[in-house]
């Protein structure tokens, strides 16, 4: 006898959950079969934490771009320049200090921020162009 | 009459807290004085959210590198290659899918992961060299 299926809210959607996960194999590796089972198990355990951190990073970056998108609209509306060197210098020195506290290489933190900022400036310029085009 | 100073644990260190924050000016901007006060206030309000997100990103990245550092030691100990193309392909396709869910540009998510992975591989190679040197 099978258990009666519980009534689930649409949010629970157990059938759809697989949409975002079923094609991801957390054990995918070019090392499969070439490594001791115990070593592979340890590797997969650490990788599962990395996968959780990466999902968090993606959602956090999405939130950061939502915020910079607002800055972009504000700058375009008031015809302000896309970049702000004074702000960027303050951000870099703060992030280097936070990186030291977190035992992360400060040079990497700076490279990371520059990587993000160059993407943000690209977005700001695109917003400004759109804004200009809609006025022409 | 002054309040008696409360006894604080070393972790609380109120004098040292300023070390990581006093030189950061959240209002630093090359636009200061050139923009309407209300526009500047709106900009600074969004930037304060960006600053919170950036601190979170730095601490999360530090945690990610702690995990990959463990992978590096495991790989060096068992003489496994620094990179794992099968794993990287699975990570990229998962992160692109998560990015779509988060309304983040999937191409940017992929660029971001590649940026992180190239740093990780550099670390793995350094760990492997150290490991080899300590055996020589």
Q: What is the pLDDT of residues B5-20, one digit of tens each?
A: 444 444 444 444 444 4
Name residues 102-121 of chain A within 8 A of B (Cβ): 102-105, 108-109, 112-113, 115, 119
Secondary structure, 3-state, B14-70: HHHHHHHHCCCCCCCCCCCCCCCHHHHHHHHHHHHHHHHHHHHHHHHHHHHHHHHHH
What is the rounded CA–CA span in Å between residue B106 and residue B89?
14
Mean pLDDT across the stretch B20-42? 87
Give residue A80's pLDDT.
93
Give residue B22's pLDDT.
56
Give residue B104's pLDDT.
96
Give residue A136's pLDDT.
77
Q: Pick from A75, A89, A90: which is nearest to A121 by CA?
A: A75
CATH architecture for segment(s) B32-135:
Up-down Bundle (1.20)
Is the C-alpha dihedral spanning A105, A99, A60, B127 positive or negative? Answer: positive
Contact between A98 and B58 (Cβ < 8 Å) = yes
Name residues 67-96 of chain A within 8 A of B (Cβ): 67-68, 70-71, 74, 78, 80-81, 84-87, 89-91, 93-95
Q: Among the CATH numbers 3.40.640.10, 3.60.20.10, 1.20.59.10, 3.40.630.10, which is that of A30-135?
A: 1.20.59.10
Mean pLDDT across the stretch B8-34? 66
Give residue A22's pLDDT.
56
Tell me the whole-structure pTM to 2 decimals. Answer: 0.80
- Domain locations along chain A: 30-135
> Average pLDDT by consecutive 10-residue portion of chain A (136 residues)?
47 46 85 91 96 98 96 94 92 96 96 93 90 84
Give residue A6's pLDDT.
47
Give residue A132's pLDDT.
86
What confidence tens digit (pLDDT) does each residue in B77-135 have?
999 998 899 999 999 999 999 999 999 999 999 999 999 999 999 999 999 999 888 87
Of A28, A57, A74, the CB nearest to B60: A57
What is the rounded CA–CA span in Å between residue A85 and residue B29?
7
Give residue B60's pLDDT.
98
- Among all chains, which residue has been given the structure tokens 């495991």? B74
Q: ipTM value of the model?
A: 0.80
């Amino acid at each position: 006898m099978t258990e009666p299926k519980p009534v689930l809210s649409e949010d629970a959607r157990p059938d759809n959950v697989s949409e975002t996960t079923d094609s991801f194999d957390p054990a995918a590796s070019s090392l499969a079969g070439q490594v001791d089972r115990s070593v592979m198990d340890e590797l997969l355990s650490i990788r599962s934490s990395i996968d959780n951190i990466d999902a968090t990073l993606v959602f956090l970056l999405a939130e950061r771009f939502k915020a910079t998108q607002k800055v972009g609209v504000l700058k375009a509306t008031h015809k302000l320049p896309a970049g702000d060197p004074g702000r960027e210098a303050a951000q870099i020195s703060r992030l280097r200090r936070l990186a030291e506290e977190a035992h992360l290489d400060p040079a990497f933190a700076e490279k990371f921020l520059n990587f993000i900022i160059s993407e943000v400036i690209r977005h700001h310029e695109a917003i400004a162009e759109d804004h200009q085009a809609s006025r022409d």
